[in-house]
């Protein structure tokens, strides 16, 4: 038996949705505590399945982790007792592979299982490994594990073929204790990377160019533990903003960082959305009926985020005319399209381009979440549709949205967790 959401749509929904801490910032920052001994306090950590999975992995490597309250963790590093990140834990989440950089920084060796994760694309780890090799690490791959070992990490120049978020994070975490200077070109620029670099700098690292495509890391002998508050989750914020638009501005969204969502907000404006942001609270002042179709191409940050492609597709279905989405990041990221079409959407796919024709409203149906953001897009559609929908495989959604059904229930949504066979 697995869990599903039973959603009875078409209800009056109004109130405030509060954005939690960023999963994609919290994961690498928690992992970065492997680099140096000491006691760390991390605040605004979201209460998610992925975080709980990571805690088990970090504990298996020797960290002592205590949850002080719902969103605050105390992490104690007294030295690593195990240098093997096993398949059982790593297969559950791709971000687990990020332990390699910090383990190399701390112990000069690591053995990490090749990762698992979402089914939305191949995302190989070769960029990570090329970066480690450029820092003087010997890499061998055997029996599904990557083994890395070095006598000493030495700074060097690394140019990424693609601005990979994971590779950027992993290489930076190794380079902070490398001898000399590392220059990382074509680095990813996501806000979550900025948060990680800020955390490392608070620990005493010397990283410059933060937020740009070129990071310069001057290696230091040691770092010092610190206290840090995780940034809010821009993808959750974007999802909630779309919910607010679908329900004609009756929902306000609290915890919106405008500078993290520039490309997304510009595209909403192009559709005809009008909004105000005051003290990080966003209010929609336009109507759903004002919206027109537009074209979007997903791009690495600061372009339109691929993680908001599925949720904005749900919104495009309800806009006048036709819209188009070109997906350039992940090759399998249209797996939710057949499910939206089951709910009455009119979406055609040709290669990496989806064409969406506007409809009056969704119709209720039983559907299945293929990945985390696909699940969010289907829940948005189910909330708008008249009648009862079932969204299966919501374990994907639990990986990225904290207490989603509770937050939605609190503002009037008819949504409950049920057990199903699917």
Give the annotated binding-site residues. Answer: 23-24, 94, 123-127, 307, 329
Nearest-angstrom CA–CA distance, 325 and 357: 12
List residues forming the annotated binding site for phosphoenolpyruvate.
23-24
What is the DSSP pairing of strand 387-392 with strand 414-420?
unpaired
User: Is 118 one of the catalytic residues?
Assistant: yes
Q: Which residues lie closer than 8 Å to 369 by C-beta, 6 or more apart?
A: 336, 339, 375, 378, 391, 392, 393, 394, 396, 397
Nearest-angstrom CA–CA distance, 37 and 303: 37
List residues forming the annotated binding site for UDP-N-acetyl-alpha-D-glucosamine.
94, 123-127, 307, 329
Nearest-angstrom CA–CA distance, 382 and 216: 46
Q: Could you say which of 118, 197, 226, 317 is catalytic?
A: 118
Nearest-angstrom CA–CA distance, 400 and 51: 10
Distances (CA, A) of 333 to 324, 349, 416: 14, 11, 27
Q: Taking phi first (over 0 means left), then psi (-120 to 50 degrees means alpha), and beta for anything else, what does residue 204 get?
A: left
Nearest-angstrom CA–CA distance, 181 and 155: 5
Determine the angle formed by the axes of helices 165-175 and 100-107, rounding to 10 degrees: 10
Catalogue the active-site residues. Answer: 118
């Amino acid at each position: 038996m697995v869990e599903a959401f039973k959603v009875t749509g078409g209800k009056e929904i109004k109130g405030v949705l509060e954005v939690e801490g960023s999963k994609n910032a919290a994961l690498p920052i928690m992992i970065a505590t492997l680099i140096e001994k000491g006691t760390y306090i991390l605040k605004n950590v979201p209460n998610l399945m992925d975080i709980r999975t990571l805690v088990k992995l970090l504990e298996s490597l020797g960290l002592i982790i205590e949850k002080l309250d719902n969103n605050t963790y105390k992490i104690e590093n007294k030295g690593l007792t195990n240098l093997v990140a096993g398949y059982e834990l790593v297969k559950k989440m791709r971000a687990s592979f990020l332990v390699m950089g910090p383990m190399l920084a701390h112990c000069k060796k690591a053995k990490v299982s090749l990762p698992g994760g979402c089914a939305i694309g191949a995302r190989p780890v070769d960029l990570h490994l090329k970066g480690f090799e450029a820092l003087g690490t010997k890499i061998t791959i055997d029996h599904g594990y990557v083994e890395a070992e070095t006598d000493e990490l030495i700074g060097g120049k690394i140019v990424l073929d693609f601005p990979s978020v994971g590779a950027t994070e992993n290489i930076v975490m190794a380079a902070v204790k490398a001898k000399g200077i590392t220059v990382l070109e074509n680095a990813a620029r996501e806000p979550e990377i900025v948060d990680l670099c800020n955390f490392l700098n608070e620990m005493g690292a010397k990283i410059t160019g933060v937020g740009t495509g070129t990071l310069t890391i001057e290696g230091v002998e040691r770092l010092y533990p610190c206290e840090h508050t995780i940034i809010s989750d821009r993808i959750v914020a974007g999802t909630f903003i779309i919910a607010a638009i679908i329900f004609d501005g009756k929902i306000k969204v609290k915890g919106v960082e405008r500078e993290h969502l520039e490309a997304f907000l510009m595209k909403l404006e192009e559709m005809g959305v009008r909004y105000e942001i005051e003290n990080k609270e966003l209010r929609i002042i336009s109507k759903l009926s004002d919206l027109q179709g537009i074209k979007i191409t997903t791009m690495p940050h600061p372009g339109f985020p691929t993680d908001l492609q599925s949720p904005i597709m749900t919104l495009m279905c309800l806009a006048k005319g036709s819209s188009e989405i070109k997906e350039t990041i992940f090759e399998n990221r249209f797996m939710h399209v057949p499910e939206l079409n089951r709910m009455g959407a009119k979406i055609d796919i040709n290669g990496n381009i989806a064409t969406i024709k506007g409809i009056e409203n969704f119709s209720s149906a039983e559907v299945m979440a293929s990945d985390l953001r696909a699940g969010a897009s289907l829940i948005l559609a189910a909330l708008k549709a008249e009648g009862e929908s079932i969204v299966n495989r919501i374990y994907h959604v639990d990986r990225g949205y904290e207490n989603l059904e509770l937050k939605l229930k609190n503002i009037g949504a008819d949504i409950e967790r049920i057990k199903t066979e699917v």
